[in-house]
Chain A
Amino acid sequence: MNFKKQLPAMISFLQQLVETESPTNDKKAVDRVGAILAEASQNLGAKLTFHPQEKHGDHIVAKWGEGENGILLLGHMDTVFPVGTLETMPFYEKDDKVFGPGVFDMKGGLVITLNAIGALREAGEMPDCPVTILFTSDEETGSAVSRTLIEEMARQAKLVLVLEPALHDGSLKTWRKGVGNFILRAHGHASHAGGAHAKGRNAIEEMAHQILKIQKLTDYKKGTTLSIGTIKGGTASNVIPDFAEIDIDLRITGADEYERIATAINDLRPVLDGTSLEVTGELNRPPMPFDAAMEATFSKTKAIAEKVGITIKAGGSGGGSDGNFIAPLGISVLDGLGASGEGAHSSREYIHKESLAEKAQLVAALIRDW
C-alpha cells in the first residue's frame, strides 16, 4: 500500500471537505459534509446507517463486515468556523503545509480514515472483524447529541481509534484532561447611581470578589486549571448593576478533582450584603488517563507500527475529545490518529501534508493487524 502516491488524491478530497464549510450549529451545512462522506464510504463498499438529528447534522455510521468486537474509527464532521470563513481563510497549500478552516480539526482525519480503508480493500487486506466509522456532528460544542451513540458503539468494539489531530510533532494522544464548565451568576439590587446609591447592591463588585477566589483554585501540580472565559454585567454607568454572569472553564487530570472543585464553587458565599449567587455546572468530559489499559494499548500500537516502519510517540492534551468518553468504559482507545499540525480553532490552522500519508499508513496497519 503506497500512501505517498495517494497524497494528491487525499489533498484533493481534503479540499472538497474543507470547502464545504460545516459549523456545528448549521445543520444543513454539516449534512452537506455528511453527504460527501456517505457517498465516499458507499463507493468503498460500506453499509450506511443514518442517525437523524433535529438541530445538528445527522450522525453517519459506515460499516464494513458484520457483527461486534471490531474496530471503531471516530471522527467529527463539524468545525468551529462559521460559513463564510473561507473568504478570509481560504484552503491553500504552501511548501509542506495545507491551510484552511477545519483542515486540522479535523477534516484531515476524515480523509485519513477513508484512505486507509480504501487502501486495505484494494490490497485485499481488510481484517476479519468488522470495521466501522462513526461520523458525528457536534463534537465542537461538547458532543451533547452524540455522546450516547459514541458510548454505545464503543462498547461493541475491541478498539476505538479517534481521528482527532495529532500533536505538532506527530505524537498520539494517550492522555487527555477532563473538561468541565460552570456558570456563576451574581444578583444584586438596581438603583440610580446618583440619587439612591446606598440602596443599590453592585452585582459586578460582588462578582469581582468571586472571580478572585475562583482563579486561586488553579493547581498546576494537580493538573487542575480554572479560567474565567467571559464576563458580562450591568447596563448604564449611572445604574447600580443588579446582575453579572461569568463562565468558567475547568480542566482536570484526576477524576476526583471535579468533586473537589464543584464543591468549592458551590460553597462560594456572597461577600457583599444583599447580593446572592447562583451556580450551574457539569463535567462535560471525564479525564482520559495514561493508565495501565492505555499503556497496554499504546505498547501494542507501537509494535504494529514498528513492523510497518513507523515510529510513534505518546503524548497528552489539555483539550478534551470524544476519546474521553470511551476511556471510562474500559475499552482500548487511542487518540490523535489524525493529521499533525497547529493552530486549531484559529486563522492559522494548518496540517503537514506528509502526515496525511503517514497517518493513513499507521491507521491501515492498526486496522489490519490489531
Chain B
Amino acid sequence: MNFAARKPAMMKLLQEMVEVGSPTYDRDAVNRMGAIVAREAARLGANLETVPMQEVGDNIIARWGEGDGGILLTAHLDTVFPLGVLSTMPFYEKYGKVFGPGALDMKSGIVIMLHAIEALQEQGRMPKRPITMLFNSDEEMGSYKSRGLIETIAKDHALTLVFEPCEYLEGALHTWRKGTGKFSIKAQGKAAHSGGAHEKGLNAIEELSYQVVKVQQLTDYEKGTTINIGSMSGGRAINIVPAFAEADGDIRFKSIEEYKRVEDAIKKLTPVLPDALLETKCNLNRPPMPFDSTMEETFDKAYKIASAAGVKIKAGGSGSASDANFVSQLGVPVLDGLGTVGEGFHSEDEYFLLDSLFERTKLTAALLRDW
C-alpha cells in the first residue's frame, strides 16, 4: 500500500479540520469539528453514535463490525487554540513540515485513523475484529467529562490505540506516562492602608510566599516527581496591604505514592504569619501509566507486527499525561503516541513532519490488520 499517494486527500481533510477551530471551552466549535469526523466515518461505513454533552462538545463513537476482542482507536476533537488564531497561525506546509493550530495535537492523528481504515477497505483487508473509534471533546482540559465513557468502552476491547502525537522528534511511542494533578493555595490576610495603618494589616502576599517556597521544594527529580507553581496573583493596590493572594500549580508523578506524598504535604500546609488563613485544594487528574508487564507485552507484539510491515518503532516515555493513562489503569492493553511526530506543542510554532503522517498510517493499518 502506497501511503504517500494518499497525500492530497489526507492534507485536504486535515486542512478542513484545522481550519475549523475547536477550543475545548467552545462546544459549538468542537461540534463543528465532530461533524466533519462523523461525516468521514459515515462515508467509510461506520455505525455512528453521538453521546450528547452539556458543557462541552458531544463525544462521538464510530463502529465497524460487532462482537468481542475489538480494537479501540481514540482521539480528541478539541485543541488548546482559540478561534481566530488562524490569522497569525495559518495551516501550511513547508520543507516537509506541516503547521497549524492543532495540526500536531492532534488532528493529524485523526487523519491517520480514518485513512488507515480507508486503506484497509480499499485493499479488502479490514480485520475480522470489530473496530471502534472514540472521539472525545475535552481532553485538553483533563477529560473530566469523557473519562467515564473512555473507561467503559476500553474495558470491552482487546487493545486500545491512542493517537496522541509523539513528544520528541525521535518519534518513540508512549509506553509510560507521568500522572498529573493540580493544586491551588489561597492566603487570606487583613487589608489596611499601607501608610496610615501598616501595623494593622496582614500581608497575604507575604504569607503565600512562604508557602510557595515550601511547595516548590517538594520536587524530586530522582523519583520523577515535579511541582510547578504556574501562576500567582494578589492584592488590590500598591497602598493597601493585600488581604488576598492565590497561586495555582501542577504536579507530575510516576507513582500514586508520590502523588499522595505531595497532596499530603499541600493539605498539611499551615500559615506562617499569625492570624493568616490558608485554603488549599489538590486534585489528581490522570493516574500514571507505568511500563508494566502488560505494556511490555503489548509493545513487543506491536514491535513484531511493525517490523513485518517494514516500520521501526521505539518505546519511550512522557512527562505529560493523556487518555491512555485512564486505560492503562484498567489493565487493558494500550499503546499511545500513534500520532505524528513533531514539536512546539500548544505554541504558535506547532508542526509535524509530513513523512510521519504516512508512516504512522502504514503502521496503524498493519496493527489493525495483524493484531
Contact = CB atoms under 8 A, between A and B. Distances in A.
Contacts of A197: 219, 226, 228, 252, 319
B238 A181 contact: yes
Contacts of A288: none
Interface string A189-212: 000111111101010110111011
Contacts of A225: 194-195, 198-199
Given A249-B194, A317-B195, A318-B197, A230 B228 contact: no
B320 to A, nearest CB: 4
B203 A228 contact: yes
- Grouping DSSP codes into helix (H, G, I), strand (E, B) and loop, the B interface class, with mixed when no group exceeds half, is mixed
A231 B245 contact: yes
B210 interface: yes
A198 to B, nearest CB: 6
Nearest to B242: A229
B214 to A, nearest CB: 9
Contacts of B242: 228-231
A218 B198 contact: yes
B313 interface: no
Given A179-B195, A194-B252, A229 B229 contact: no
A193 B228 CA distance: 6
Q: How large is the interface on A (under 10, 10 to 19, 20 to 34, 35 or more residues)?
A: 35 or more
A277 to B, nearest CB: 15
Contacts of B318: 194-195
Please classify how large the interface on chain B is, using the bins under 10, 10 to 19, 20 to 34, 35 or more: 35 or more
Contacts of B249: 237
A227 B198 CA distance: 8
A339 B297 CA distance: 84
Interface of A: 177, 179, 181, 192-198, 200, 202, 204-205, 207-209, 211-212, 215, 218, 220, 225, 227-241, 244, 246-249, 251, 317-320, 344-345
18 contacts: A193-B252, A202-B216, A204-B229, A205-B213, A208-B208, A208-B210, A208-B213, A211-B205, A211-B206, A215-B206, A230-B236, A231-B205, A233-B233, A235-B231, A246-B205, A249-B239, A251-B194, A319-B195
Given A228-B235, A318-B196, A319-B196, 16 more contacts: A193-B250, A194-B250, A194-B252, A196-B319, A197-B228, A200-B228, A225-B195, A229-B235, A229-B240, A237-B182, A237-B231, A237-B250, A238-B228, A238-B250, A248-B238, A318-B193
